[in-house]
Structure 1
């Protein structure tokens, strides 16, 4: 018996939030693994937000905006094509299946990263063994993740092979266009944008010309810490 003041259960049908709901056959270890892997886009999205909040780099912000535009384009295509998911998933989810949003997102991200490495990072010394291993690891990681997510969507019967393939193709084309727009049109404007008053208030910055941002930040913070420690020594002596 419900007590006075308790919330009464709402009547009507309840619908799952299909954006994050992932099902797999009970007892199927491979299916469970693919279900976990299919959450990769959400991890990437969280990583974008963390980088934007703590780095404030214009290129990262532009990259993130590109992923949002890519997702909006996917929704538009789904409602234009209106192709249902495989029969095993009909009735469980209201949104359409063509093209696969997971596949499109992952191949957009992967394609953009590859362009970034081979075009934006060409000035880094890639002759060292460590640099080559790092580049190979990054490319293998993003490509492997995209392939695993794509296979998982078919294995878990969320999409057909054709829906996943079209999603991958659209993601590739979208990333190509967005990278061209960013590299050829937006990047030359970054030095002007960071000088805007709103950019100064938001602490936005442009690191385009810095070959290795992590090493630059490490050396800069170490030099600043040493300089401040030298200033503190005379004060302690007093």
Structure 2
């Protein structure tokens, strides 16, 4: 009989601790998981829409994660655990820069630039400004909340969160302008590749409002098919 003992560790991807009885801590524990939920949402959109911008948006997230991993293991600054009751063994021991803050600010920066430069709403100019402003403020506010949650829940120091946020803003800005000014010129050629046709990869670069485009195209197609069926 094998008498060996094994150490079992939980999968820490969605493992978040907060102080018992702390309502704000409970709320922030959910908010701190936004980067993971956002990444899953983008991957789902890729499966459904398969457009190059979203695919590269997700690739930028992976690059940002790699940058964070390298920096953490170079700087090797520990997390600010204050007592022995925290589950130290369930997380990476290094905290500089904050991964969650970096990723969320990457997502938000890229999203804000996308809304500002590429998104168009077929409404009045005032309505377009209001909707764009609302989306940008919402994205920035979400990133700030995630960063705040990492400090409040004592997973990172202020300096670690600020560093992660600034790196995320830098990564999001550089990656967006690289895609928008350089890589997007080759989108048309990429979509003509055999593998792209097989995977149904699309280029929505020149469509300012994808939701409206899809709604109109699908409604017209449904109307045509309904008329053909009745005839």
**Scaled by the length of structure 1, what TM-score is found?**
0.89
- d(CA) in 2 for partners of 1:131 and 1:220? 22
* Correspondence for 2:165 among 158, 168, 181: 168
| Larger CA Rg, structure 1 vs 2 | 1
- d(CA) in 2 for partners of 1:229 and 1:73? 52
| Deviation (angstroms), 1:17 | 2.7
Q: Structure 2, unaligned stretches of length 5 or more?
A: none
Aligned to 1:184: 181
Q: Does the 8 A contact of 1:84 with 1:90 survive in 2? A: no
> Does 1:205 pair with 2:213?
no
Q: Does the 8 A contact of 1:85 with 1:96 survive in 2? A: yes
* Correspondence for 2:72 among 74, 78, 94: 78
| Deviation (angstroms), 1:132 | 2.7
SS at match of 1:19: helix
* Correspondence for 1:28 among 19, 22, 36: 22
> Does 1:134 pair with 2:131?
yes
- CA deviations over 1:44-78 (Å, ceiling 9, x no partner): 01111110011011100010100110011100100
SS at match of 1:52: helix
| Deviation (angstroms), 1:18 | 2.8
Aligned to 1:152: 149
The alpha-carbon distance between structure 1 residues 9 and 69, as it changes in their structure 2 partners (threshold 3 A), is farther
SS at match of 1:23: coil
Q: Does the 8 A contact of 1:110 with 1:146 survive in 2? A: yes
Q: How many residues align?
A: 226
> Does 1:231 pair with 2:199?
no
- d(CA) in 1 for partners of 2:122 and 2:220? 24
> Does 1:61 pair with 2:58?
no
| Deviation (angstroms), 1:209 | 0.8
SS at match of 2:200: coil
- CA deviations over 1:112-155 (Å, ceiling 9, x no partner): 1111122223x655744432332122112111111111011000
Query: In angstroms, what is the RMSD of aligned CA positions?
Result: 1.9
Aligned to 2:44: 50
Q: Structure 1, unaligned stretches of length 5 or more?
A: 1-7
Aligned to 1:4: none
The alpha-carbon distance between structure 1 residues 47 and 10, as it changes in their structure 2 partners (threshold 3 A), is farther
> Does 1:113 pair with 2:111?
yes
